Amino acid sequence: MKHEDIWRALDALAAESGMSASGLARRAGLDATTFNPSKRRMPDGRARWPSTESLAKALEAAGASLETFALLVAGGQAIESRGPRRRIPLIGMAQAGADGYFGDAGYPAGAGWDEVSIPEVGDPHAYALEISGDSMEPVFRDGDMVVVSPAAPIRRGDRVIVRTTRGEAMAKQLVRRSARRIELRSLNPEHPDYSFDLSEVAWMHRIVWASQ
**Domain boundaries along the sequence of the chain:** 3-73, 92-210
The pLDDT value recorded for residue 72 is: 80
Question: Does residue 130 register a pLDDT over 60?
Answer: yes
Question: Does residue 194 register a pLDDT over 50?
Answer: yes
Question: Does residue 149 register a pLDDT over 60?
Answer: yes
Least confident range from 34-48, 66-80, 148-162: namely: 66-80
The pLDDT value recorded for residue 195 is: 95
The pLDDT value recorded for residue 198 is: 95
The pLDDT value recorded for residue 176 is: 95
Asked if domains 3-73 and 92-210 share a fold, the reply is no
Question: Does residue 62 register a pLDDT over 90?
Answer: no
DSSP the chain: --HHHHHHHHHHHHHHTT--HHHHHHHTTS-TTTT-GGGSB-TTS-B----HHHHHHHHHHHT--HHHHHHHHTT---SS---SEEEEEEEEGGGTTSTTSB-TTS-B-SS--EEEEEE--S-TT-EEEE--SSTTTTTS-TT-EEEEETTS---TT-EEEEEETTS-EEEEEEEEE-SSEEEEEESSTTS--EEEEGGGEEEEEEEEEE--
Question: Does residue 76 register a pLDDT over 70?
Answer: no
Model confidence band, residue 111 (pLDDT cutoffs 50, 70, 90): confident
In this prediction, residues 29-35 reach a mean pLDDT of: 92
In this prediction, residues 141-167 reach a mean pLDDT of: 90
The pLDDT value recorded for residue 77 is: 47
Model confidence band, residue 120 (pLDDT cutoffs 50, 70, 90): low
| Assigned CATH for 92-210 | 2.10.109.10
CATH T-level fold of 3-73: 434 Repressor (Amino-terminal Domain) (1.10.260)
Question: Does residue 53 register a pLDDT over 50?
Answer: yes
Instruction: Compute the mean pLDDT over every residue in the chain, rounded to the nearest whole number.
Output: 86
